[in-house]
Amino acid sequence: MQSAMFLAVHHDCGSMDKSSGSSPKSEEKREKMKRTLLKDWKARLSYFLQHSSSPEKSKTTGKKSKQQTYIRPSPEEAQLWSEAFDELLASKYGLAAFRAFLKSEFCEENIEFWLACEDFKKTKSPQKLSSKAKKIYTDFIEKEAPKEINIDFQTKTLIAQNIQEATSGCFATAQKRVYSLMENNSYPRFLESAFYQDLCKKPQIAEEAHAT
């Protein structure tokens, strides 16, 4: 529902830019929609930042879990994300923002699959490797999987064979394909999004102080 509202706002903004003039009333409407859009983004981002800790760490008991706090990046830090896709993925805040963006586009399965593969490659225990491989397959690869990713039939068949004797490279081909898809399609759109542009904007007070 929230994602659908996000898209509705996004499309309305686009149509308004084309159809309306530059009257004060239409400008006020555009600004109101932009504020609504950014508010939705911030709520979505807050959710991902709170749930971005790995499942392995959240299961630990007997120790007080320190709640991680994420500080909004400076405009300069946010601008670094536009230099390379890897720069964005390497930032906790950037990754959470990108996940929120993909969710708004109904394709969050791509980043979730990529993250699952990153976690999978770090697994040392053969037993855990096998169970994780089967879970990734049932979640993302098999036909009509709940988070099925868009890969060719040949790659799916190869993965189905590979997970019988799971190794850390089981999903390498599919992960590269999904990475490329995000880098060439979703990433450029994220950089053009209102939320990212807002992060790159310097505070108005700072700009005014610098000007005087």
Which domains does the chain show, CATH number per domain? Answer: 72-200 (1.10.167.10)
Distance in angstroms (rounded) separating the CA atoms of residues 148 and 131: 18
pTM over 0.75: no
Distance in angstroms (rounded) separating the CA atoms of residues 109 and 44: 16
| Ranges of residues in the chain whose predicted pLDDT is under 70 | 1-70, 204-212
Summarize pLDDT for 180-211 with one digit per residue, the tens.
999 999 999 999 998 899 999 987 654 455 55
User: Rounded to whole angstroms, what are the CA distances from 84 to 15, 79, 107, 167?
Assistant: 31, 10, 21, 29
State the pLDDT at residue 71.
80
- Helices (H) and strands (E) counted in the chain, each on its own, are 13, 0
Distance in angstroms (rounded) separating the CA atoms of residues 198 and 175: 30
